[in-house]
Amino acid sequence: MSEVSSQVMANRTDPITLSAPPIGLVDLLVKQIYGNYTFIGATLFLLWMGMQLLPPRNKLPIMNKKKWYELSWQRTIREFTTNTKEILANAQREADGKPFQLYTNQGLMTVLPPHYIHEIRNEPKLDSTLHFHKVFFGAFPGFEGINKHHLWVLMTITSKYITTNLARFTKPMAEECSEVLKDTLTDNPEWHVENPSTMVSKIVSRISTRAFLGKDFCDDPNWIDSSEQYATTLFYAAERLSVWHPWIRPIVQWFLPYCRKLRDKSAQCSSIMRGVLKQRKAVQETALKEGRELKKEPTTIEWAEQAANGRHHDPAQIQLSLGLECLQPLREEIMSVLRDGEGGWKKTSIYNMKLLDSAMKESQRLKPLTLCTMRRIVLEDLTLSDGTFLPKDTLVVASSSQLRDSQLYPNPDKFDIYRFYNMRKIPGKENAGQFVTTSPEYSAWGHGKHACPGRFLASNQIKIALCHLLVKYDFRIVPGSPTESMAFGFSIVTPPTARIEVRRRKAEFDLDSLEYGNE
């Protein structure tokens, strides 16, 4: 527009009426807006590319790198999840005893060889609770069961109250085990097919619920169903969410089906918990008014209040695996201890089932819950004794490859139920052969100050369940059923198509009539 035209326009006093916006102005606005968005988009893309190209602070080699032309780690992570054993074995062989990194379904992990276990066992700059909080997204709605605050309370309950009161859990766990076996495996004397994963899940869920929460929760099918589904959905939801970039997870988690289901199950569990607690309170108040004293089984609900020590916590979120030829010697030991020995479910009885303890430890050695243990997150920059540098926020795991080391365990691939039973006869190794004992050579439970605090109760639970299963039932593998465990990421799981046949057998003695000790 010329200066003259500008002056003329400026001197006009009559209003100008436009029937449509000037085309030039529209074009200018469109170009300006489009240009801004293009600039912002290009800037964000270049920033993202720059972050991908920047050298990471962690200098350890990444053993499963993406291809140079790939813009994301999706294929690498998917390949790791479905082929973990081979990728981990190749990485360990290539690293030759040195630390390395792997892109996993739970993020970039630094894998330490077993010889680092002793050094990091009590390292204050490493934390396990925050590791689980991060990889399982404990800050997101629905994932509260793995939230760092609830985990802290649960760890306190387990170490301070449960482990020191193990004998008090024997009776309720044994009673519930008898009931759940009747409900799941029945008293049918004919062979019938069972899914071992489903069977074990139901047994463990009921026994744990009875131990942690009491009889009223065990009798509530809604609680059993919701809590089981919550635990299962939690892992699937975390798996689906982990493939998304950290920047957009807070948004994506609202729309992913498994995350929505997790929030629903979390809400259901909380609702059921509130209802039962309200009912318990009413019963207690009535008893108090009538001057009656209530006999209560030990549960973790009251202990949670004490462990929380004023911190906010949600009680619902805190509550949230033999060769068949070995069955007979195990049955004989069970009879010898429970029927012919001191008799009954006593603390000493459970301890004296040493062959069963050995079989459990050997089974765990060959088929641990995870290929890598001692999950930690680095709280501050950490330099190990050999100069290995671990930056803050690094996710760390320790390899469990020593569990099949022939120098530690002769014939390491052979299942020998007497392996640890015989070890306990060696002077100086009496404790090393116990199921609950941890060491750099046996880290299935972890090791050091962050070793699994619930292993003592778990040991008792497994022994009680196995006593009932071995004395009351016969087992055989369905022909053609897979028997080898499979890896899903670092986790070791039973093949979903595995099947066994079960039938009720004539027991040599009545387990359900045994007396209970009060130690």
Q: What's the CA gap between 413 and 177, in Å, rounded?
A: 32
Q: What is the mean pLDDT of the chain?
A: 82
Tens digit of each residue's pLDDT (9 = 90 or more) over 27-73: 544 445 455 555 556 555 555 555 555 545 778 999 998 888 877 77
Is residue 162's pLDDT more than 90?
no
Q: In the structure, what pLDDT confidence band is assigned to residue 312 with cuts at 50, 70 and 90? A: very low
| Banded model confidence at residue 298, pLDDT cuts 50, 70, 90 | low
For the ranges 49-53, 73-77, 336-340, the lowest mean pLDDT is seen at 49-53
Residue 365 lies in a domain: yes
- Which domain does 360 fall in, by range? 75-513
**Residues in the annotated binding site:** 452
Q: Are residues 44 and 101 in the same domain?
A: no
Q: Tell me, yes or no, whether 146 and 30 share the same domain.
A: no
Instruction: Provide the 8-state DSSP code for 336.
Output: I
Rounded percentage of the chain residues whose pLDDT exceeds 70: 82
Listed residue (452, 465, 469, 442) closest to 364, CA to CA: 442
DSSP states along 349-386? HHHH-HHHHHHHHHHHHHS-SBSEEEEEEESS-EE-TT
Residue at 518 is within a domain = no
Q: Stretch 306-314: mean pLDDT, rounded?
A: 47
Is 79 found in the same domain as 35? no
In a domain, 59, yes or no: no
pLDDT tens string 164-191: 788 888 888 999 999 999 999 999 999 9
Higher pLDDT, 287 or 307: 287
Percent of the chain beyond pLDDT 90?
39
Residue 345 lies in a domain: yes
Do 43 and 81 share a domain, yes or no? no
- Specify if 463 maps to a domain: yes
User: Do residue 158 and residue 219 come from a single domain?
Assistant: yes
Residue 268 in domain? yes
- Tally Cβ neighbours within 10 Å of residue 52: 11
| Tokens coding 182 | 């009747």
Contacts by residues 8-11 (CB-CB < 8 Å, ≥ 24 positions apart): none
For range 460-479, the mean pLDDT: 92
pLDDT of residue 48: 55
Q: What is the pLDDT of residues 342-387, one digit of tens each?
A: 668 888 888 999 999 999 999 999 988 899 999 999 999 999 999 9
- Number of other CB atoms surrounding residue 25 within 10 Å: 10
**Mean pLDDT within 399-427:** 94
Statement: residue 98 has pLDDT above 70? yes
Are residue 36 and residue 103 in the same domain, yes or no? no
Do residues 45 and 89 both lie within one domain?
no
Total domain count, the chain: 2
Same domain, 278 and 397: yes
The Cα–Cα gap between 308 and 153 comes to 6
Sign of the four-CA dihedral 485, 486, 492, 494: negative
- Least confidently predicted of 35-49, 113-127, 374-388, 451-465: 35-49
Q: Coil, helix or strand for 504?
A: strand
User: E strands, 245-404, where?
Assistant: 372-378, 382-383, 389-390, 395-399
Sheet-wide strand order for 500-504:
192-194, 500-504, 473-477
Binding residues for heme: 452
**196-224 tens-digit pLDDT:** 888 888 888 888 888 878 888 888 888 88
DSSP string, 14-61: SPP--SS--HHHHHHHHHHHHHHHHHHHHHHHHHHHHHHHSPPS--SP
109 plus 35 within the same structural domain: no
**Antiparallel, parallel or unpaired: β 372-378 and 395-399:** antiparallel
Position 180 scores a pLDDT of 92
Specify the pTM: 0.79
CATH number, domain with residue 344: 1.10.630.10
Identify the pLDDT of residue 296.
61
Residue in this structure with the two tokens 């790791």, named with its chain if needed? 80
Is the pLDDT at 302 greater than 70? The verdict is no
Q: Same domain for 396 and 324? A: yes
Here the tokens at position 64 are 């499963």
**What sign has the CA pseudo-torsion 420, 424, 426, 430?**
positive
451 part of a folded domain: yes
* Rg of the chain on CA atoms, in Å: 30
Q: Is 9 or 148 the better-scoring residue by pLDDT?
A: 148
Dihedral pair phi/psi, residue 64, rounded to 5°: -125, 65
In a domain, 68, yes or no: no
Is the same domain home to 115 and 27? Answer: no
Same domain as 123, residue 41: no
Residue 96 has pLDDT above 80, yes or no: yes
Least confident of 5-9, 78-82, 167-171, 352-356: 5-9
